[in-house]
Structure 1
């Protein structure tokens, strides 16, 4: 009887002497800034905990790292993200032939708790958040989040050149997660409100500007998160509300309306 041939080892495309920092640079190459920052942060914590080259990591090392996450003030969702990032790093090392076996495949990722229903606000609650917002810019940010169903990073990255007419209405060109591009239609009233806030801003300038001069005058995700939470508290809604909740609301309410 002829035995089936085992799979050949992956070709070695990374030099054996490559250090951890260089491996991480290769791993995050081409990823978005936010993703690269997250990956580097998790990898740094992993390597600080294990204190050995990536090539020598074992399943016991990964399980030890997973156990340390239990002692940190991390949400279950954040712990799942950490484990997923570690798996991505080791999958990369295995694909490139740096390690012969990917021990992280045996590491269990905690199953997520279904909390989506907790993140869906009623249309009345969303309208209250918008109506009670005293700042015109912040009110426009809330409207754009809700009516366009954007992520916080997508809203912050918007430039005036991304806003164009579409008949009597408007549309936004969104550069989203995974470098995917999509077009989002805007109702006429919101399109005109955004246009009227432009002033003399150039095409390459951000639609939503920060009051601070940092970051090129562009609104930061942290500021966006804060203003959404403040709007929620003002309307008597859970202070856990986030910009992403408005994205969920957009999808849910659109489905309800057919």
Structure 2
């Protein structure tokens, strides 16, 4: 006979580790997933396929999920987050949430993915700003993503040129915006924290009407082992 249990009194416990304390572990996981991701897209199964932004993001998330299970991290990751708590608009490409039963699965860290360069010339500056206010950094400034959060991330899939090229170019776009748009500031330029052959880690701060948000940028060198799609994504 199965022992009788009380399933009707499931109280929502407090998260046993603070979101602030989790962030370094999220950043560690995101870095650990990069070589796994690169090896995977260069494997025989994928190196001849046309991979667009959604494909690349999905593969990265899958590799991160495997590492989370392997190392028993206190959080989980999933794709396409809709903020039903703060009611911000749009969907983050992926997000991290507490890996504890009964704890809210609200995003504690959201991530936007962008291709470098953008797939179309008219979307050239989409890492920063977009034609429909859908630029990567812009979404965080306008709280379309990351509402209620103090820190979030962006992933840049680097298909052409090197990290320095993109750092100089993106910072020049921000400097130009600071001269013509009062909502932007030169202090929002990216700062390189560490750089390796396969990835670069950078930091910036996006100014918002309320509290500013810290942004952590993970740029991944895709190399030429796979074919990149001409898809609009």
Q: Do the two structures share a fold, i.e. TM-score over 0.5?
A: no
Structure with higher Rg: it is: 1
TM range (shorter): under 0.3
Q: Which has the higher helix share?
A: 1
TM-score, normalising length from structure 1?
0.23
TM-score, normalising length from structure 2?
0.25
